[in-house]
Structure 1
């Protein structure tokens, strides 16, 4: 299965699993998690 870059980024940051993104979270949640991961990366926390 190919993942979109934002999904891969969220999964790689350890903020969610693929199963969670497919079943528990909606697209808005995924983008909020993406933003958290991006800020953490910019601040040097990951």
Structure 2
């Protein structure tokens, strides 16, 4: 029974981990883009 559970959850857990990793990367890219825009706008307002 435990082996069947592992065989079922193994691929699923890899899928979930991959989805979480992709979402984290997406959020990181969005945060970086926001910081860059904020930095650029602060430079433009100082000039």
TM-score, normalised relative to structure 1: 0.41
Q: Highest Rg: 1 or 2?
A: 2
Q: Which has the higher contact order (CA 8 A, sep 6+)?
A: 1
Bigger helix share:
2
Q: TM-score, normalised by structure 2?
A: 0.40
